[in-house]
Amino acid sequence: MIITDKRCWAEINLSQIIENYRIYKNQLPEKTKIMAVVKADAYGQGDAEIAEVLQKEGVTDFAVATLDEAVRLRTSGIQGQIFVLGYTPITQAQNLIEYDITQAVVDENHAKLLAKLGPRLKAVFALDTGMNRIGLDADYPDFCEEVIRKYSDKFCLQGIFTHLCTADSMDKEAVEFTNNQIKKFEKVAKRIEDLNLPYVHCLNSAGGLWNKCEKSVFARLGIILYGLKPSYQNQLPEGIKPALSWYSVVSMVKNLHSGETVGYGRTFKAEWEMKIATVCVGYADGYNRLLSNNFYVLINGKRAAVLGRVCMDQIMVDVSDILGVEMGTKVTLLGQDGDEIITADDMADAIGTIGYEIVCNISKRVERKYKYEYF
């Protein structure tokens, strides 16, 4: 019996985060700066911890999606500019000033409300160049220019930005759409050059590698910072690897006889004598229920298929052909064990989603452990 003090945990290699950042930075034009995207708790990997090591590396600009995320960074000691690139209700906007947070303006109505806070409020205008999510409609550059100039002295205007919605695709139509988005953005940016706004950016992780925008001062580094691909079509620069690994332990091993079933709904039935192990992870930990009878874990360097439905707190796996499995044996959910590896993209492919969702959905119940492995 192996004695462990954890049932389920994730390990984040902070050295790999820095390595990913450095490799990505070296792919950009020398004049292009990086804004680190640490929204959604740094894609499930710990926003304050990730931002702290990046700050030591020289990063001065961070992007999040919500005011709460921004305040958590600021109160954790993160300096420089922190941008909320999503909506903040006007009832919470005073906190933007209190914590020195820069807010995205999602449309003209939002601008009218934020303008009431005056020049102490830092803001950036979002431009909608084709995603139809937030922003002033860049199909009407005259309108965009008019609104931006109108509010340029109502609050402390810092810049403009947009989001490229197909920059991760190499399909001809997608590439054409991305190029058109960039052209729309540059058209508006050129009209307001005299405002000398410091934060003008349209490149996301994928855009920074595979697109060019002369007016984009920054590339927003998100998913690639964590070592994941923006899409299955992408090949990342050599050396960029996942920073997160996810582990659990075996709680019990037992024999399963032919004809016996496993789990809720009895969806797996043994056709021969088997040995199964119960593993301490479930959908409450972020292990998706769609992985039921549909994926595998790694134990002692071998694959162990998930049997039956994923429970809230536990799964059962087939260890018939794996030696040395006992209570406390380490189980790899994401990461490498011997010659075998499971990536977030592997897991995502099995259930028809994306790697982003896999890592973001690892719940707070799963303790994060941080380590350095110097290269």
Is 177 part of a structural domain of the chain? yes
Considering the domain architecture, whether residues 142 and 267 belong to the same structural domain is answered as: no
The 10s digit of each residue's pLDDT in 301-323 is: 999 999 999 999 999 999 999 99
Considering the domain architecture, whether residues 211 and 308 belong to the same structural domain is answered as: no
- Catalytic residues, by residue number, are 39, 264
Q: What is each CA distance from 101 to 70, 152, 160, 192, in whole angstroms?
A: 7, 17, 15, 23
Structural domain for 339, as ranges: 244-371
Considering the domain architecture, whether residues 143 and 73 belong to the same structural domain is answered as: yes
The 10s digit of each residue's pLDDT in 218-233 is: 999 999 999 999 987 7
How much is the mean pLDDT over the chain?
96
Question: Which of 226, 255, 271 is the C-terminal boundary of a domain?
Answer: 226
Which pLDDT band, with edges at 50, 70 and 90, does 293 fall under?
very high
CATH number at residue 103: 3.20.20.10
Considering the domain architecture, whether residues 294 and 212 belong to the same structural domain is answered as: no
Considering the domain architecture, whether residues 222 and 340 belong to the same structural domain is answered as: no
Considering the domain architecture, whether residues 191 and 306 belong to the same structural domain is answered as: no
The 10s digit of each residue's pLDDT in 326-361 is: 999 999 999 999 999 999 999 999 999 999 999 999
Question: Which of 164, 194, 226 is the C-terminal boundary of a domain?
Answer: 226
What number is the average pLDDT over the span 193-209? 94
Considering the domain architecture, whether residues 56 and 187 belong to the same structural domain is answered as: yes
Considering the domain architecture, whether residues 250 and 201 belong to the same structural domain is answered as: no
Is 3 part of a structural domain of the chain? no
User: What pLDDT is attached to residue 373?
Assistant: 73
User: What pLDDT is attached to residue 195?
Assistant: 98
Which pLDDT band, with edges at 50, 70 and 90, does 215 fall under?
confident
312 is in an annotated binding site: yes
User: What pLDDT is attached to residue 4?
Assistant: 76
375 pLDDT more than 60: no
pTM: 0.95
252 is in an annotated binding site: no
374 pLDDT more than 70: no
Considering the domain architecture, whether residues 40 and 77 belong to the same structural domain is answered as: yes
Considering the domain architecture, whether residues 110 and 258 belong to the same structural domain is answered as: no
Percent of the chain with pLDDT over 90: 91
Is 129 part of a structural domain of the chain? yes
Is 231 part of a structural domain of the chain? no
Number of domains in the chain: 2
What number is the average pLDDT over the span 24-39? 95
User: What pLDDT is attached to residue 91?
Assistant: 95
Considering the domain architecture, whether residues 263 and 344 belong to the same structural domain is answered as: yes
